[in-house]
């Protein structure tokens, strides 16, 4: 079976650390969507490591890690990561596999991303400028180059054809930056990519499932950034929900097992777009400071706010979540009172669901006040050490969300994870 682990908010929920924590229980860890816009942070031998392309199970020597066909792959970013991983004694040629169907991000995708974002002015989406959107546009437009095309003698011709098509678009944007250095780096990385294991992922995954192997599908970004169900147009370009695991890996829906949803004890968002519970004040700044809320991919400060229950319920419904992981509870230590959004005031009505449009129509949060806790959580390792008021908060969330919180993260290290049930 394939268990799916994904974020339930606007990304940055702590997926990297949690996948790394769960990896020993699985034979395979597989990324199924997104690209180098992801930034999954984990700590290995006390050192911080941020993975953008490689699955977060890579540091477990005997685990297979797969980059699925639903991912868009930047060969340059991949090579840099592989070099960084190798410094820890990991041989990626043994435990990293890439789907032949994975689409390649070319240098002009990055240029188009930048040109498009600049053209939007104050209406910009908040793109990471990694070429994600243009790469997915070429995928749906049937223009893309895929990893499996690399060994085709026509690859260079296909690349030039795509490059010229992109140049026409760049000319329309009056984009004149020299990207020759990007291209040189790109072609060097392609030679490295040719040395890695390329597989027919859909057959490989299903053969492993038949053999009784356990697969953990690792999501990127968050549910509220899903291209279909997120806060459109301020969304990513892929399906970040559990359904994306099926299309991104080639696993049928009846092969899915547990759906593990991760959420922060509060809420954050990077880039533009609506954020009903945002604290655009000193309190929000304090959350950012204590939680070190800066983007792992871009370094941009994350916008911070209180937990949003209508949004969480929406994400749980879309994904069919069976169990929850709450992260960053330690950040809320010391707050005398914390707050949970239970409803929105929307077009003059009080509602408890995510409406179609929260971009042009404001969803004003209605809050429930909750007692905070003062204790430092970072050193606790047993359930009986959890402060009473934190446990009351967890029980309240379980009642409201209708799904058990089975794991609690109280810091960035693997050891700072408690099993609650």
Catalytic residue numbers? Answer: 12, 40
Instruction: Report phi then psi at 67, rounded to 5.
Output: -100, 110
**Do you find a cis peptide bond into 233, omega within 30 degrees of 0?**
yes
What gap in Å lies between CA 34 and CA 111, rounded to an integer?
18
What gap in Å lies between CA 188 and CA 186, rounded to an integer?
5
Contact 30, 205 (CB under 8 A): yes
What gap in Å lies between CA 389 and CA 374, rounded to an integer?
9
Contact 352, 366 (CB under 8 A): no
Handedness of CA 271, 274, 278, 280 (dihedral sign): positive
* Separation of first and last alpha carbons in the chain: 22
Bridge partner residues of 215 (DSSP): 2, 28
Instruction: Report phi then psi at 19, rounded to 5.
Output: -60, -45
What gap in Å lies between CA 325 and CA 331, rounded to an integer?
15
What gap in Å lies between CA 231 and CA 224, rounded to an integer?
6
Residue 105 DSSP SS3: coil
Residue 185's nearest CA partner among 103, 75, 52, 92 is 75
What gap in Å lies between CA 370 and CA 376, rounded to an integer?
18
């Amino acid at each position: 079976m394939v268990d799916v682990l994904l974020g339930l908010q606007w990304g940055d929920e702590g997926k990297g650390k949690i996948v790394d924590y769960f990896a020993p229980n699985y034979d395979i860890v597989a990324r199924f969507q997104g690209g180098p816009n992801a930034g999954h942070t984990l700590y290995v031998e006390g050192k911080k490591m941020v993975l953008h392309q490689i699955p977060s199970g890579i540091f477990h020597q005997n685990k297979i890690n797969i980059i699925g066909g639903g991912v868009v792959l930047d060969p340059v970013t991949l090579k840099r990561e592989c070099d960084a991983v190798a410094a820890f004694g990991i041989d990626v040629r043994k435990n990293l596999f890439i789907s032949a169907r994975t689409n390649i991000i070319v240098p002009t995708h990055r240029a188009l991303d930048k040109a498009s974002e600049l053209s939007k002015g104050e209406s910009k989406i908040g793109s990471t400028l990694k070429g994600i959107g243009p790469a997915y546009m070429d995928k749906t437009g049937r223009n893309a180059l895929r990893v499996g095309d690399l060994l085709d003698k026509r690859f260079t011709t296909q690349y030039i054809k795509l490059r010229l098509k992109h140049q026409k678009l760049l000319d329309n944007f009056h984009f004149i930056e020299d990207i020759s250095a990007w291209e040189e780096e790109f072609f060097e990385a392609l030679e490295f990519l040719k040395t890695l294991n390329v597989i027919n992922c859909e057959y490989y995954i299903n053969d492993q499932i038949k053999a009784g192997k356990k697969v953990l599908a690792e999501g990127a970004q968050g549910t509220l950034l899903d291209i279909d169900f997120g806060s459109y147009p301020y969304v990513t370009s892929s399906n970040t929900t559990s359904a994306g695991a099926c299309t991104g890996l080639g696993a049928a829906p009846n092969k899915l097992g547990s759906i593990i949803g991760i959420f922060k004890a509060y809420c954050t968002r990077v880039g533009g777009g609506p954020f009903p519970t945002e604290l655009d004040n000193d309190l929000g700044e304090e959350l950012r400071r204590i939680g070190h809320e800066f983007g792992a991919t871009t370094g941009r400060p994350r916008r911070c706010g209180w937990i949003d229950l209508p949004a969480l319920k929406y994400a749980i419904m879309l994904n069919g979540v069976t169990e929850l992981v709450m992260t960053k509870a330690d950040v809320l230590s010391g707050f005398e009172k914390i707050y949970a959004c239970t409803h929105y005031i929307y077009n003059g009505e009080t509602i408890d669901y995510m409406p179609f449009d929260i971009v042009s129509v404001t969803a004003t949060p209605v809050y429930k006040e909750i007692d905070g806790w003062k204790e430092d959580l970072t050193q606790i390792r047993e359930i009986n050490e959890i402060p009473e008021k934190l446990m009351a908060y967890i029980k309240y969330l379980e009642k409201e969300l209708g799904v058990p919180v089975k794991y609690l993260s109280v810091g960035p290290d693997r050891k700072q994870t408690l099993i609650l049930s």
